[in-house]
Amino acid sequence: MKLLITGGAGFVGSNLVRFLLRERPEVEIVNLDLLTYAGDLANLGEAEGDPRHTFVQGDICDGPLVQDLLEGVNAVLNLAAESHVDRSIRRPAPFVQTNVVGTRVLLDAAWGAGVSRFVQVSTDEVYGELPWVDPKADDPHRSRFSEGSPLRPRSPYSASKAAADLLVLSYHATYGMDVVIPRGSNNYGPNQHPEKLIPHMTTRALRGEPLPVYGDGLHVRDWVFVEDFSAGILATLERGRSGEVYNFGGNTEHTNLQVVRAILQALGRSEDLITLVPDRPGHDRRYALDCSKARGELDWEPRADFEEELARIVDRYRKHPKTGAAP
């Protein structure tokens, strides 16, 4: 199988590339990435020397380039996206251009080339926010987002991803195109961009700098290990029903304060480093995903233990403070 993976030098994309090369020996990957601030060839590691992997630097909005790369491709996996919420608040335009216009370019090219399947990798942020619930509370009736939950995005980033998802589904309804959408909760793992919560707080704590936490620090996120999400994307590609959405979360809800405190504890640093700062606009209070559809239809389960993986990540940053790279 020949795949075009866009955004394959970013955090989730590079982990997916390495995962597929390991798990599917027969796969051939063309990796298209513009290498903006979130993309780094170093993220690809051993994939760079694998003959089954070809890297192309370019923009998904470049229609002629995309058309050329689709020759012989069986499926497109679109992970190319502007993804940092704070950046989207400051400058929404690049998010609309890449996440919406770029997706349209890919869809048109894939439809014209007769590509068998289009996988639009998305996020739980398209659903908006859930009411706050204490992550430690044992409440069997606590609400979670299902695939049928309304899309109510609250930031330019999440709005651009929701628009792209709807565009993808419209190509299924209008043209009969074979599309599937995996939506992931907060990913964490190796090679994450330093602006994200875990690497940002870890590197600042190592330097003894204040750790700025938005608002009261009680915003809740469901964390999924990036390799578990990669397994979910693969399952969606291979077994997902056309026109369907599948949620992938770790069933590990934590407040931001809990995550930051765990990092400090792992590093042996004082919680006095925590500094509450004014909340960002439109900051969603809580995310949590109902993943029963993925479990039932795709036989998928998250395998990683959040506390164990977080400790490993922190330890890597302790040994390699600049990048957190594996030794």
| C-alpha–C-alpha distance, residues 245 and 166, integer Å | 11
Report residue 138's pLDDT band, with 50, 70 and 90 as the boundaries: confident
Task: Give the distance from CA 223 to its chain's centroid.
Answer: 11
The enclosing H or E element of 109 equals helix 102-113
Q: What is the mean pLDDT of residues 42-63?
A: 96
The single residue of 125, 129, 228, 253 carrying the catalytic annotation is 125
- Looking at residue 141, its pLDDT comes to 75
The single residue of 33, 124, 227, 253 carrying the catalytic annotation is 124
The alpha carbon torsion through 87, 325, 56, 75 (nearest 10 deg) reads: -90
The single residue of 28, 33, 127, 157 carrying the catalytic annotation is 157
Residue with tokens 């992997």: 53
Buried b / exposed e across 142-167, counting CB within 10 Å, b at 16+?
Answer: eebbebebebebbbbbbbbbbbbbeb
Over the chain, what is the mean pLDDT?
Answer: 95
Is residue 317 flagged as an active site residue? no
Q: What CATH number has the domain spanning 2-191+224-249+287-303?
A: 3.40.50.720
Residue 326 has pLDDT above 60, yes or no: no
Is residue 124 flagged as an active site residue? yes
What's the pTM value of the predicted model, to 2 decimals?
A: 0.95
Residue 248 has pLDDT above 70, yes or no: yes
Residue 324 has pLDDT above 90, yes or no: no
| Domain range list for the chain | 2-191+224-249+287-303
Instruction: Determine phi and psi for 92, rounding to 5 degrees.
Output: -70, -30
Report residue 185's pLDDT band, with 50, 70 and 90 as the boundaries: very high
- Looking at residue 327, its pLDDT comes to 37
Is residue 125 flagged as an active site residue? yes
Q: Which of 128, 185, 146, 198 is nearest to 302 (CA)?
A: 185
Instruction: State pLDDT tens for residues 288-322.
Output: 999 999 999 999 999 999 999 999 999 999 988 76
